[in-house]
Amino acid sequence: MIRFIAMRLLLMAWVIVGATILICLIIRLAPGDASLLIAMARHGGIDQVSKAEIETIRRSEAIGGPFVVQYGKWLHHALQGDLGYSLVDGKPVLTEILRRFPATLQLAAASLLIALLIAIPVGLLSASHPNSLFDHLGLSVALIGVSMPNFWLGLLLISLFSVHLGWLPVFGTGGINHLILPALTVGTGAAALTTRLTRSSIIDTLGCNYIRTARAKGLPERVVIGKHALKNALIPIITMVGLQFAFLLEGAVIVETIFAWPGIGRLLVEAIFSRDYAMLQGCALFMAIVFSLVNLAVDMFSAWIDPRIRYERKRA
């Protein structure tokens, strides 16, 4: 187990370092003179910027130098928790991200709850009656859910519940009312994927010998499925929840924009359109790190509850 954890942590460290390198490389692709852009963003227009100022920025941000120098400079600051300053309003990037992150976390948690509340019962029922009408219906709806663009679903929900029925607010934050529509939008999409996995995972488990034993000793089907099958099927489901987190973060980017939800996804999109590269870099990295941490936690957890995984990973 210790070996497994050490290997996993090492990989995680590399992934984060790799992610910073990749993001810094991509930001370098930006067309135009970066120092001019920074100066313009800080002063709101090309008329306000002096040549000397551009030169100062060029030197302080190591723009135009070789990538290694630029990256080294960036990394040096980043290690001290300094992800730079917004090119738009000069606020520290990390502070702004941390201020916005709770909103995203809240949305993600609510969406995950909705996803699991739909996926586990539907998946269980489908798996215990394979090829029944319910099973086919559930699978078809799940496939439609997977194919449904979340930005479209969001618009439809707004159209129905806010514009026509007037039950819920169109966008913004406030009470739980504001959370319902965005969470439904992300959650139902996530539910679609999770339902499919729950179903196939339980069907796989039902084919195992210990289920045959449980049945043979006369346990009622309710106990066989509810206790023996579900518990074992839970491992892939937990892994899936980790992967779902990607879906939730990705969904957050679009759904937060539609619903004007003040989370990190909307921050990312705002940064793109105001060409705030420092903020963009910070948001993308932060999301990658959060996602990697969740995956790490999921891996550790599944390895802890299922020793078989440890051995498999060791071989691979």
Give the footprint of other proteins on this chain (CB under 8 A). 11, 14-16, 18-19, 21-23, 26-27, 29-31, 143-144, 146-152, 155-156, 158-159, 163-164, 204, 245-247, 249-251, 253-254, 257, 268-269, 271-273, 277, 280-281, 284, 287-288, 291-292
Instruction: Extract the tokens encoding 62.
Output: 């190591």
Closest approach of other proteins to the CB of residue 11, in Å: 7
Angle between helical axes of 176-206 and 230-258 (0-180°, round to 10): 150
Nearer residue to other proteins within complex by CB, 101 or 151 = 151
DSSP 8-state symbol, 92: B
Distance CA 190, CA 243 (A): 10
Task: Yes or no: say if 298 and 239 are a contact pair by the CB < 8 Å rule.
Answer: yes
Residue 279 near residue 267, CB atoms below 8 Å: yes
- The least CB distance from residue 7 to other proteins, in Å, is 13
Q: How far is the CB of 285 from other proteins (least distance, A)?
A: 9
Q: How far is the CB of 315 from other proteins (least distance, A)?
A: 12
Residue placing its CB nearer to other proteins in the complex, 116 or 251: 251
Question: What is the smallest separation between the CB atom of 284 and other proteins, expressed in angstroms?
Answer: 5
User: If DSSP codes are grouped into helix, strand and coil, which group holds residue 242?
Assistant: helix
Question: 141 or 219, CB closer to other proteins?
Answer: 141
Distances (CA, A) of 124 to 1, 109, 208, 244: 32, 22, 16, 19
Nearer to other proteins, 23 or 202 (CB): 23
- d(Cα 121, Cα 80) in Å, to the nearest integer? 46
Nearer to other proteins, 123 or 251 (CB): 251
